[in-house]
Structure 1
Amino acid sequence: MNFQYYLPVNLVFGRGKADLIGEKAASLGKRALIVTGGRSTKESGLLARTEEQLKKEGVSSVLFDRAEPNPLTTTVYEGAEIASGEGCDLVVALGGGSSLDAAKGIAFQAVNGGDINEYIFGKKVSDKALPVLAVPTTCGTGSEGNGFAVMTNPDTLDKKSLRCSAIVPACSIIDPLLMTTMPKPVLASVGFDALCHNMDAYISAISQPLTDIMALEGIRLAADSLIKVYKDSQDLDSWEKLCLASTLGGMVINTAGVTALHGMEHPVSGLKNAIHGKGLAALAPSVYEASIKGSPEKIAAMSKILGGKDESDFVDRIKNLIGELKLMETLGDMGIKETDVPWLTENCMKISAASIANHPVVFSREEIRDIYTKSI
């Protein structure tokens, strides 16, 4: 048994921990760029609450509220320019995974400059970034627990992650009380993403003992809590479980990576700006059906956690969950046409080669093309 595990993540987890935003920020810097989306953190009061806490702790702040779903590299450039121009020495990320990813990209770009795509595709490397304080308001991407920042290049429509340890948040505050106002469709999408992160990492060819332990627990926690909070938004015990599942999912993919499911979804949301969790749900049955032969023991273990008996009914359990969460949209419903399949296939091979290689069945171009077509 040989493996290496390194993930310098500082998690502050629990109900009410958002009251520590100001205190934790003050330990990281004196002038913060607050990165968030345009609406939800304002409506919930979290943005005003954060600004007040920062001021109380002597941290000045500048607002960048243009983080969009599936954040663009151009958005990262805009935010980084403001951070540099305003002399910010800290980035505070408030919101869902897209806001966190945009913030991490901005923290990196503000220090390194140049073409961020060169870092995304590994042509350049850097271990420097501004410190990030991450405060997630959705429980899905796990961005608070890893060194990934997914963004889309609007010129090429490549959706790919910047990966480096410098953008692992210096501190992440995970407060389940911030999650309870999520609309049900958003919860369904992000919760399914959290489950899929753990499943991807568990079946990955580069998984290892520690990621297996965490991923299995993440799957168990998500399976136990997702439908409960979907039905009852006031079930705080289940919210805690789902938040932990999400964070574990982010942590395990940092080491074990994602596999074909995420690798195939990124071209979909890159091309059509689709909601990531819905894209995963549209692809999951066909991807998993073609994967069982590559890892029957692990897929059997996941099936049992989801209420099945072995690998033979895993796809049925996934379909059942997708139905309960009302995530039944197809790729066709998201605007994908059969004429898009060649582009999706080639883009998948371009941006997700590692994810495809990590999958328990290494799909050929033809198999990838068939899965996309079946999912329309």
Structure 2
Amino acid sequence: MNCRFDNNTQILDISGNSLTYLNKTSLRNMGVISLTQLNASRNSISDIHGEAFFGQSKLQTLDLSSNNLSYIEPWAFTRNPSLEWLSLSGNGFGMLPEEGYFLYSDSVRVLHLSACNLRHIPTETFQDLPNLQELYISHNLIDILPPLGTGFLTVLDVSNNNLRDLESDIFTSSPKIIRLNLSYNGLRTLNIEMLPQLAKVIRTDDLSGNPWVCDCVMFNTTYSWCRSQEQTSQNGKGDDNDEGKKSGTDSEDARKRELGTASDASDAESEKRHSSKKKRIASIGSGGDDSDADEAKARGDEDGKEQSADAAMLFGDADDITSDEVEHEAPGPKRGSGDERDSVKERSPDPDKHDENRSSVPFIGVDEAEE
């Protein structure tokens, strides 16, 4: 292909052309040195030089499907440290190397080898792909699936092959499998010992299209598996119920503790209000006593003033009354007698000096007293 592209080209699609080979300089002659994705599918490529992808350190995705490849150099992708996705589907490999490895790569995680006329997969084929996680080998002629020896494998698609039996070694060599597609093979029976592992990695349609034999052996196998699944489900529900009860009990205890805390807080608040009320009552009572004492004192002063006024009205000013006169007057005659009036007359030489209260008392003369 006599084409040149920009040096910064990252995605290149040359699919559906008439390319028959990729030599050492094919990509460099196109001027591309920064590819991340290359699609060369649906060509007629039958040969790829071992250094055809040399210098493509950023290449992540490579599609070489639907070509005429029957062999590829095992180290063809060792100079591509970023390569993660590789498709070689639709090529006529037929057989993979019996000895040694198919490919060397520490970066490839997804590998497609579907429709490659594969009849057999040697045990060591993929062991030099240590980070391989997804392997698609559907639409081949594989009748035996050996241990793959890929410890990180999580997805395995062997649908549309000729598998007649499935060995438990597949789960031993690839313990991290989470998806296994066995549909449209020649499986007739299943080993009951494999059912627990299969139940974890297959979906409903992953076993479809197989000529299952519904005899007593298959019935017993399936029935035993169904019973074990039912018991597992019931145990799971029981655990969930126990957990729910425990959670409910914990919630109830927490609610009770909250209520108890709230009650204690309410009692404390009530006691605080009660104590405050007592203090206010005591304060009011003390203030009332003082007020009563002041009122009594005021009434006493007022009564004393009235008594003093009466005494002044009857006896004159307190300053004019001597102690001898008081002692002389105390055992004397009662108010209203003639001697008392004489005494008052003697002590009051000037009646005009008395106030209105004293002047309002009628003066009784001597002649009237005699009458």
**TM category, shorter:** under 0.3
User: What TM-score do you get using the length of structure 2 for normalisation?
Assistant: 0.23
Which structure exhibits the higher relative contact order, with contacts defined as CA atoms closer than 8 Å and separated by 6 or more residues? 1
**Over alpha carbons, which structure has the higher Rg?**
2
Q: Name whichever structure is richer in helix by fraction.
A: 1
Question: TM-score, with normalisation over the residues of structure 1?
Answer: 0.23
